[in-house]
Amino acid sequence: MLRYVIRRILMLIGIVFIISVGSFFLIHLLPGNITAVIEGPGASPENQAKLFKLLGLNRPIYEQYFVWIGNILHGNLGTSFISQTPVVTTIGNALPIDLEIMFLSQILAFAVAIPMAMRSARKPDGVIDRFFSAGSFTMLSVPSFIVIILLVLFVSIKLGIPHTGPSSYVSLRGDWIGNLESMALPAITLAVGSFVVYFRVLRSDLIATLQEEFITMARSKGLSQRRIMWRHAFRPSSVALLGAAGVNIGGLLAGGFVVQYLLNIPGLGYTLIAAINTDDYLLVQGIVLVVSVGVVLINFFFDFIINIVDPRISRE
Amino acid sequence: MLELEEMALVERPEKKKPLGPLFWLCVGWIALNIFGAIFANVLPLQNPLYQNYSAINVGPSLHHIFGTDDIGRDIFSRIVYGSRVSIAVGFGSMVIGFGIGAPLGMLAAYRRGRFDTILTTFMYILLAFPAIIATIAVLSFWTPRSVFKIILVIGLASVPLVYRVIRTATLSVATKDYVIAAKVQGAKDRRILMKELLPNIAPIGISFLLIGIATVIALEGTLAFLGLSVTTPTPSWGNMINESRTVLQQNPWLAIFPSLALCLFLLSLNFIGDRLRSHFDVTEVKL
Amino acid sequence: MTDVSEKLLIVEDLSTTFATAGGPLPAVANISFDLGRNETIGIVGESGSGKTVLSRTIMGLQPRTNVSVTGSVLLDGNEMVGASEDFKRRLWGTEVAMVFQDPMTSLNPVMRIGKQIDEALRVRLGMSKQDAKARAIELLELVGIPSPVQRYKAYPGQLSGGMRQRVVIAIALACSPKLLMADEPTTGLDVTIQAQILNLLDELKERLHMSVVLVTHDLGVVATRTSRIVVMYAGRIVEIGATRDVFANHRMPYTRALLESSPKVSNASHTRLITIPGRPPNLLKLTQGCSFAPRCSYATDKCHQERPELQAADQPGHSFACWNPLPTTRGDSAT
């Protein structure tokens, strides 16, 4: 177990290092004079000095990396030349919104996917299973930006439910019912995308698990169907489910960007797109770095949980 | 479960799941879309960029079968032209992804040893990196954006995934007796790779390719929706849906038709991929 | 035959047919036998002879779809064929329990073994948490697992095959069943462990007054531990009788082939074992005649055309199904 954890942590450090190098080199993709492009219309000798201090642009490229990473390790991602706000502050304000959307959507997705997969796996190829499977397969082909458009069309425009349309975001600090209303469509959209993945993974894994000898063994003990499904089949299969959830984070992020963009919800996705459109490169770089490291950490966390659920993995 | 021992002795009747009419319908649909994308110039379509200010936001009619958008352009013709971007990006980036990832995956699984260990560790590290963020990041700095750059970025981003799938598939074949037999008999590596391994992993490869194309097309759609794909006025399914954002209330058709075109195309690709996979009796591996 | 109520298990004309893509597959056909209290019966046959399906059908543990069961299984007066899952569930564990073939797959890999034992105690016997744990540790001790208190918390993956099979036995014994179905309980284990497990089963049977159905492909295993033997081939009984009679006076050529193909300690070293030519028949393509005929050196035209029914041999309770039975005078194969 300890060896396994050490190996994972080494891997994690390697990944974070590669992410940092990747994010660092992003600004060198910029066409033309980097300082001029980054500072935009606010270019001045003073700003130039700030930027050189932050990025070490006058030094050789490998030194630049150490200057840059040194600043980041001190929590300094720079100050945007466009909005004059520290990048860390902007990210700090936006991040909780993403976390809230993700949290709500995952609860929804699991709440729907798990019982449906259980039902389907009990009689594979039965009427219910076929219906669920065909439905989830179809939904697999509907990208989240279409889901949210359709939801807005019907829920906000046709039904006129308040706080669900574009530009009607209510902050959690004010009115939490309004906030839940404005989070409903984003959460549902992300839940739809996740649900499809979770249902399909859990269903096929449950079907395989239910063929296992230890299920027959559990049956022969005289346990109820319900108990067998939850205690004996779901737990081994939940490893596959957690694995899928870890991998799904990427899709979740993209979905988050899309809903925030459409509904003008000031989370990281919205901020990122706005930053791209205003050429606020330092902010883009900061968001890319934070989000990537966040995803890797979440994946690491999922790996860890999987280990606790399934004692077989770390032993091999 | 119980009859395993018994059933193993019963010769399995040769049965392959038939592909079925729905499969061929999907193939036809994909073919029709590709045909439209290639010959959009020659087909009797209205100019997708022509702005007819006397027909703004009109619903479907005989003259404009899908209606027009908020500046009077014909939606149907824009959808046909828009398929070009999606199809080019989908196929183009998978050519890059498979062109690099597949040979590496096969070679790594066949050679094993240090080459495999190093390459696989490297690819798994890259896999941990969320491809969508990487793509958005690179595309936002690497301006101006063009179809070529999008293809290149998505294609490269897909290499680790293709590598993993192909390597896993090859591994399962490379350890089979007939491959080992061929090795022992002194067959050339190239011959074993091409004659023994390739035909056996082709079914997995093809179904993953189709599902990969669908995924990439959805990704391009997302990028276009976020305004990070090809610049307007060139139509693409994603940016048409993006443009519809502001006029959802007045003209829902502008959102609905491109969405439908995109979803049907993706559904067909996914369906073909899935059917091929079960046809070749490939178990549902983590594609 | 003695009074019916004295028998713990009465199987009559039992058939199990699977619906497969290739047509109906008669895995078990027209099986009849009975089992007294505190008796051990052996069911012997090659892989694929239907013995595993038979043992599960007796218990009512067959899969729930694509299978049809006919005939009758009376278990302590309860009819198992056609009974609802709810009804059977009340008998599983308390009336009849099973020791599975492969301890590597029959234990839940992500559940501590203690939990797998006391689960049955708590659900079926309504024991409290503490009582169940105490009893589970007792059971672990009973099946000979060293330091049971520590092992209680182990996962199956942390135990050797032999230890796992002991756990499987402990689970089967948890609710003190009257009948224990042991389905090839030693196949997955090392030879040295096999005898230990079999002796353990024997000992437990005496101590707990159980009846045992011992399913195996190895005649050596049943020789000393059973009072009667059922020999199966292609889903049917081909010979049945007291263990002594089957060993000494078997009439069916298949039984002899089985005997000759199993190693015996009494053999001189380097004795060549005689294998049975060919392989068990495809159950989807059974012919009219005796299923063993294609592999039998005594087979005549009649064997290929007409299936022999069970007929009584000289000894009481001994019968066989063969048109050209071996002569009765031999006794050379006895161990």
User: Does some domain include residue B192?
Assistant: yes
Per-domain boundaries in chain A: 95-268+294-309
Greater model confidence, C9 or A79? C9
Contact between B73 and B79 (Cβ < 8 Å): no
Dist. CA B264–CA B270, nearest whole Å? 10
b/e map B126-163, b = 16+ CB within 10 Å: bbbbbbbbbbbbbbbbbbebebeebbbbbbbbbbbbbb
How big is chain B by its Cα radius of gyration, in Å? 23
- CB atoms C61 and A216 under 8 Å: yes
User: Does some domain include residue B55?
Assistant: no
User: Does some domain include residue B22?
Assistant: no
- Among candidates B136, B89, B94, B86, which has minimal Cα distance to B261? B86
Question: What is the token pair recorded at C139?
Answer: 């059971």
Indicate whether C38 pLDDT > 80.
yes
Question: What is the token pair recorded at A107?
Answer: 């609860």
Considering chain C, what is the average pLDDT of its residues?
86
The class (CATH top level) of A95-268+294-309 is mainly alpha
Tokens 């897909």 belong to residue = B158
User: Does some domain include residue B106?
Assistant: yes
**pLDDT tens-place string over residues B156-173:** 999 998 998 899 888 888
Indicate whether B284 pLDDT > 50.
no
Kindly give, in sequence order, each residue whose CB lies less than 8 Å from that of residue B92, ignoring residues fewer than 6 positions away.
B147, B151, B155
Asked if the bond preceding B144 is cis, omega within 30° of 0, the reply is yes
The SS3 call for residue C228 is: strand
Indicate whether C267 pLDDT > 70.
no
Q: What is the pLDDT of residue C40?
A: 93
CB-CB neighbors (< 8 A) of A224 in chain C: 89, 123
User: Does some domain include residue B185?
Assistant: yes
User: Does some domain include residue B179?
Assistant: yes
Q: What is the pLDDT of residue B266?
A: 93
Dist. CA B188–CA B191, nearest whole Å? 5
C-alpha A99: how far from chain center: 9
Residue-range definition of the domain harbouring residue B227: 2-8+30-37+67-279
User: Does some domain include residue B61?
Assistant: no
User: Does some domain include residue B287?
Assistant: no
Instruction: Work out the pLDDT band at C43, boundaries 50, 70, 90.
Output: very high
Contact between C121 and C136 (Cβ < 8 Å): yes
**pLDDT tens-place string over residues C146-157:** 999 999 999 998
**Structure ipTM:** 0.84
Instruction: Work out the pLDDT band at B132, boundaries 50, 70, 90.
Output: confident
Chain C residues touching chain A at CB-CB below 8 Å:
56, 59, 61, 65, 85, 89-94, 97-98, 100-102, 105-111, 119-120, 123-124, 155, 157, 168, 171-172, 174-175
CATH number, domain of B146, equals 1.10.3720.10
CB-CB neighbors (< 8 A) of C85 in chain A: 225
Q: What is the pLDDT of residue B2?
A: 35
Indicate whether C51 pLDDT > 60.
yes
Dist. CA C75–CA C90, nearest whole Å? 12
Q: Is residue B186 less than 8 Å (CB to CB) from chain C?
A: no
Considering chain A, what is the average pLDDT of its residues?
85
Q: How many other β-carbons are positioned within 10 Å of the β-carbon of residue C172? A: 29
Q: At B133, phi and psi to the nearest 5?
A: -65, -45
What's this model's pTM, rounded to 2 decimal places? 0.83
Interface test with A, best of B89, B136, B247 (most A CBs within 10 A): B136
- CB atoms A231 and C59 under 8 Å: no
Dist. CA C191–CA C162, nearest whole Å? 10
Q: What is the pLDDT of residue A247?
A: 80
Q: What's the structural domain count of chain B?
A: 1
Indicate whether A298 pLDDT > 80.
yes
Q: Which of B133, B238, B249 sits opposite A157 (nearest CB)?
A: B249
Q: Mean pLDDT throughout A61-82?
A: 81
Name the CA dihedral angle for A294, A299, A303, A308, rounded to a multiple of 10 degrees: 60
CB-CB neighbors (< 8 A) of B136 in chain A: 257, 272, 276, 288
- CB atoms A222 and C85 under 8 Å: no
